[in-house]
Amino acid sequence: MVKSKIKGFIVNNNSLWSDAIYRLSRNKAAMFGGVILILLIISAVLAPWIAPYSYSYQDLNLGASPPSSEHLLGTDILGRDLLSRILYGARISLLVGFVATGVALVIGVSWGIIAGYIGGKVDSIMMRIVDVLYGLPFIIFIILLMVIFGRNLWLLFGAIGAVEWLTMARIVRAQVIGLKNQEFVMAAKAMGVSNISMFRRHLLPNILGPIAVYATLTIPQVMLLEGFLSFLGLGIQPPMSSWGTLIKDGVESMEEYGWLLIYPGVTFTITLFALNFFGDGLRDALDPKTSDN
């Protein structure tokens, strides 16, 4: 795609993606974030096998004990192994991050493509709806839904996803409008390509870059939102643990047992750092023009 010749001299013979991967691999902060993310995802997936104890196994005689060789990160007030709870918590926190972002992606991308491609009245109505929804305090509606329908994990995914799609819809729409008038799209239209395959074959592949970038930057926001709800006691319910609930438990006993706050807090923060660095790096790699530097 980026095949360009200047004075007969081949400058760049790579595709957009391999070019982006090359640039990404040169960005140390992004690579660092990426490695941490991969490690986290692997350990979350393998949690049942690598966690030293079950997340709900209690050793009440032990109570809250500081880090030791038996319990690398110590135990909580019910004698549960903190490392195991953080590993199992990673499953929930990352799952919320990915699934809710997925929900946001599906809604946002479809909304944006339809509005941008059809244009006219449909577009202005659809985007006006987005504008109106933007101005509402969605956090309150998530809390409302959790209160009314119970604190259900899938409802949480859906509710967070249903909130985070708005920006995605705007980004996708702007991209589609830019593409719509290009020759290859007109050619495809002239050849009688149906709307569905127009979206799938011609529009979607060309906007994957911005979508990937925005999705990576949505995941930490979603995880923050889940942490926020769980911290207030309105998200994940015990005995399941997410990082938000672990931080909440840590805060309750932080005066005596500081490690119960510090370790989950550090894990959460490092993950958010990693996601933000990786997302920023991906943005710079795919579109060097928008880079801050």
Partner 1 sequence: MLAIFVRRILIAIPVLFAVASITFFLIKIAPGGPFDADRAVSPQVLKNLNEAYNLDASNWEQYLDYMSALMQGDMGPSFRFPGRSVTEMIATGLPVTFELAFYAILIALVMGIFSGVLAALKRNTFLDFIPMAIAMIGICVPTFLMGPLLVLIFGINLEILPVSGWGQLPGDKILPSLTLGFAYAAYIARLSRGGMLEVLNQDFIRTARAKGLTERMIVIKHAMQGGLIPVVSFLGPAIAGLLAGSFVVETIFQIPGLGRFYVEAAFNRDYTMILGTTIFFSAMIVFFNLMSDLAALWLNPRSRDL
Q: Provide, rounded to whole angstroms, the least separation between the CB of residue 263 and partner 1.
A: 12
Interface with partner 1, residue 224, by CB under 8 A: yes
Please, are residues 104 and 164 in contact by the beta-carbon 8 Å criterion? yes
Q: Does 17 interact with partner 1 (rule: CB under 8 A)?
A: no
CB 173 within 8 A of CB 115: yes
**Given candidates 48, 52, 178, 233, which one binds partner 1 under the rule CB under 8 A?**
233
183 binds partner 1 (CB under 8 A): no
Output the smallest distance, CB 62 to partner 1, in A. Answer: 24
Q: Of residues 115-144, which lie at the interface with partner 1 (CB under 8 A)? A: 132, 134-137, 139-141, 143-144
CA-to-CA separations, 175 to 16, 101, 254, in angstroms, rounded: 16, 19, 48
Residue closer to partner 1 (CB basis): 53 or 138? 138
The CA angle 287-290-293, to the nearest 5 degrees, is 110
Q: What is the DSSP letter of 131?
A: H
Contact by Cβ (8 Å): 146, 138: no
Specify the residue, 60 or 132, whose C-beta has the smaller distance to partner 1: 132
Which one among 95, 204, 234, 240 touches partner 1, defined by CB under 8 A?
234
Work out the angle at residue 132's Cα, subtended by the Cα atoms of residues 121 and 292, and round it to the nearest 5 degrees: 95
Binders of partner 1 among residues 204 to 223 (CB under 8 A) are: 220
For position 265 contacting partner 1 by CB under 8 A, the verdict is: yes
Cis peptide before 210 (omega within 30 of 0): no
Could you give the CA distance from residue 79 to residue 63 in angstroms, rounded to a whole number? 4
Choosing from 52, 258, 288, 291, the residue that interacts with partner 1 (CB under 8 A) is 258
The torsion angles phi and psi of 268, rounded to 5 degrees, stand at -60, -50
Q: Which of 58, 119 has the CB closer to partner 1?
A: 119
Number of other CB atoms surrounding residue 96 within 10 Å: 28
Contact (CB, 8 A) for 210 and 64: no
Shortest distance, CB of residue 238 to partner 1, whole angstroms? 15
32 binds partner 1 (CB under 8 A): no
Q: Which range, of 93-101, 115-123, 208-216, 264-272, touches partner 1 by CB under 8 A?
A: 264-272
Q: Please check whether residue 71 is in contact with residue 58, taking contact to mean a CB–CB distance below 8 angstroms.
A: no
The nearest distance, CB 146 to partner 1, in angstroms, is 8
Contacts with partner 1 by CB under 8 A lie at 132, 134-137, 139-141, 143-150, 220, 224, 227-228, 231-234, 244, 247-248, 250-251, 254-255, 258, 261, 265, 268-269, 272-273, 276, 292
